[in-house]
């Protein structure tokens, strides 16, 4: 199993090009199921989750052609309307095939995802929404079996804001008969990117970027070309790395307008942030200052940046409170950060972090994707060697992170 060996204490300097967003690419790949014509995608990131999603789609009969970050998808000959347990258990985002399959083919069998490292994560809202659109849904032998001759437009108010739930229902609504209104919709930039692609495919969607999406169903969607938006979480992760290790790093091929709150928090921590149309520069010469925050849905502070900012808070001047409101169990990195010498106490959904002068490298274990990223950041700031085990979590969502960090002066190596 691969591990990462980091020797901390090196300042970072130079440029890093940001990849396409994982959480935009995954629903966009599933949107390929909505048409028999070809989708031409660019800026598709090289990640394990993208590989897994492509494997799932190929099993269904989708033809795919990959050339660097370009990808052509052809769902003209889909023969299997199923996402098996073996695939869904490795990647929960497989649930995103449910809406498109029912909408275009009238049937789908998708394994019910189980709990995962960061929380129980049910999919009841995806099911509730499809039922409101007339789908008949049964749960049998661990599978969601959905059937509908033709989905019908409906007004759907989800109990909570759900990102993949909004995406699934939005995709389903594009081919439903009549008007669908999605209230309490997620406004994450990745939802907006999917909506923009669907419009390019011929979908009729109003309210893009708001919490009320109004969709007029059409009979069919057609092929389109689309560039995936930059990964705001990869961007934020490298900004935290620069803030923790110190230095002067410019991130290119990215956007600052989808990271406002995280950028404000970095400024509050003492990082000098400057931005241009497609770049963000972070300069950090001093010890960071502690910053408190609560995670919330977009445009609030993203839960996917919580662990990385916590790593920064570990070495900051002062103490901070970090409250996680989206997932019930997203503090798995706390024990590992404490193994590096951090001082973090958990009080319910809040972590109380007392900044320490230094962290000291140690062997640690990655437990989920963003927890892994926080350990890399801590390792870059720590004295001596940090060996991170189970980095397959990291490879699911970061495109060659160690290569990108080495290029700006980090001492980080992949070992077998
Ligand atoms: N929820 C329900 N029922 C549902 C759907 C959601 O109770 O039917 C709950 C969840 O358990 C959670 C909350 O609602 O407590 C929000 O979950 P959401 O559905 O928004 O999460 P998701 O769609 O499963 C996506 C991202 C996550 C990111 C969250 C929150 C993808 C593929 N995944 O998950 O990304 O943390 O939104 O922003 O888009 C990551 O990249 O590391 C990651 C975990």
- Mean pLDDT, consecutive 10-residue segments, the chain of 416 residues? 96 98 98 98 97 97 97 97 94 97 98 81 95 97 96 98 98 98 98 98 98 98 98 98 98 98 98 98 97 98 98 98 95 97 97 98 95 98 97 94 98 95
The CA 93 to ligand 1 mean position distance, Å, reads 9
Atom number, ligand 1, closest to the C-alpha of residue 164: 23
What percent helix, strand, coil does the chain show, rounded to 5? 35, 30, 35
pLDDT of residue 116: 74
Determine the Cα–Cα distance for residues 265 and 244; give it in Å rounded to an integer.
Answer: 13
Q: Which candidate in 30, 116, 240, 314 is catalytic?
A: 116
- Ligand 1 pocket test, pick from 110, 127, 163 with the greatest ligand atom count within 8 Å of Cβ, gives 163
Ligand 1 pocket test: pick from 21, 121, 236 the residue with the most ligand atoms within 8 Å of its Cβ: 121
Residue 297 CA: nearest ligand 1 atom is: 38
Q: Which residue has the tokens 């406004």?
A: 187
CA–CA–CA angle 208, 212, 216 (5° rounding): 70
What's the 340 CA to ligand 1 centre distance in angstroms?
29
Task: Check residue 114 and give its pLDDT.
Answer: 72
The CA 162 to ligand 1 mean position distance, Å, reads 6
Instruction: Tell me what pLDDT residue 400 has.
Output: 95
Is 240 one of the catalytic residues? no
Looking at residue 118, its pLDDT comes to: 81
- Atom 24 of ligand 1 has which residue's CA nearest to it? 164
Quote the ligand 1 centre to 305 CA distance (angstroms): 14
Pocket of ligand 1 (CB under 6 A): 22-23, 26, 93, 119, 121-126, 160, 162-165, 303-304, 326-327, 369-370, 397
- What pLDDT is recorded for position 415? 95
100 token code pair: 């498109």
Ligand 1 mean position to 164 CA, how many Å? 6
pLDDT on residue 84: 96
Q: Look at residue 48 in the predicted model and tell me its pLDDT.
A: 95
303 touches 330 (CB < 8 A): yes
Closest ligand 1 atom to the C-alpha of 120? Answer: 11
* Total-model pTM: 0.98
pLDDT for 416 equals 87
Give the ligand 1 atom nearest the CA of 119.
Answer: 11
Between helices 98-105 and 22-31, what is the axis angle to 10°? 20
Where helices occur in 160-188 by DSSP H, the ranges are 163-174
Residue whose Cα lies nearest atom 43 of ligand 1: it is 304
Centre of ligand 1 from the C-alpha of residue 116, in Å: 11
Q: Three-class SS of residue 112? A: coil
């Amino acid at each position: 199993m691969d591990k990462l060996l980091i020797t901390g204490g090196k300042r970072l300097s130079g440029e890093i090009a940001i990849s396409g967003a994982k959480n935009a690419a995954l629903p966009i790949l599933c949107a390929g199921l909505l048409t028999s014509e070809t989708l031409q995608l660019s800026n598709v990131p090289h990640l394990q989750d993208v590989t897994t999603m492509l494997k799932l789609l190929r099993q269904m009969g989708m033809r795919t052609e990959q050339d660097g970050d370009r990808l052509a998808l052809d769902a003209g000959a889909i023969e299997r309307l199923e996402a098996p347990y073996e695939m869904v258990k490795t990647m929960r985002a497989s649930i995103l095939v449910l809406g498109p399959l029912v909408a275009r083919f009238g049937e789908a069998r998708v394994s019910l995802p189980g709990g995962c490292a960061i929380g129980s994560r049910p999919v009841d809202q995806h099911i509730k929404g499809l039922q409101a659109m007339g789908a008949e849904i049964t749960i049998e032998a661990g599978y969601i079996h959905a059937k509908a001759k033709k989905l019908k437009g409906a007004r759907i108010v989800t109990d909570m804001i759900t990102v993949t739930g909004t995406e699934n229902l939005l995709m389903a609504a594009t081919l439903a008969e009549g008007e669908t209104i999605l209230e309490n919709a997620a406004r994450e930039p990745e939802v907006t990117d999917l909506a923009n692609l669907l419009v390019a495919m011929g979908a009729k969607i109003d309210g893009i970027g708001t919490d009320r999406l109004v969709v007029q169903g059409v009979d069919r969607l057609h092929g389109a070309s689309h560039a995936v938006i930059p990964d705001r979480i990869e961007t934020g992760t490298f900004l935290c790395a620069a803030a923790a290790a110190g230095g002067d790093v410019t991130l290119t091929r990215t956007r600052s307008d989808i990271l406002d709150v995280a950028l404000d928090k970095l400024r509050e921590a003492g990082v000098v942030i400057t931005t241009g149309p497609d770049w963000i520069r972070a300069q950090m010469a001093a010890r960071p200052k502690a910053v408190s925050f609560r995670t919330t849905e977009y445009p609030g502070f993203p839960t996917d940046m919580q662990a990385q900012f916590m790593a920064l808070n570990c070495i900051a001047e002062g103490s901070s409170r970090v409250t996680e409101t989206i997932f019930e169990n997203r503090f798995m990195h706390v024990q590992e950060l404490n193994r590096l010498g951090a001082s973090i106490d958990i009080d319910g959904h809040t972590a109380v972090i007392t900044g320490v002068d230094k962290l000291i490298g140690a062997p640690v274990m990655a437990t989920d994707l963003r927890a892994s990223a926080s350990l890399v950041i801590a390792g870059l700031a720590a004295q001596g060697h940090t060996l991170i085990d189970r980095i397959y979590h990291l490879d699911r969502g970061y495109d060659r992170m160690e290569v990108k960090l080495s290029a700006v002066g980090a001492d980080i190596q992949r070992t077998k």
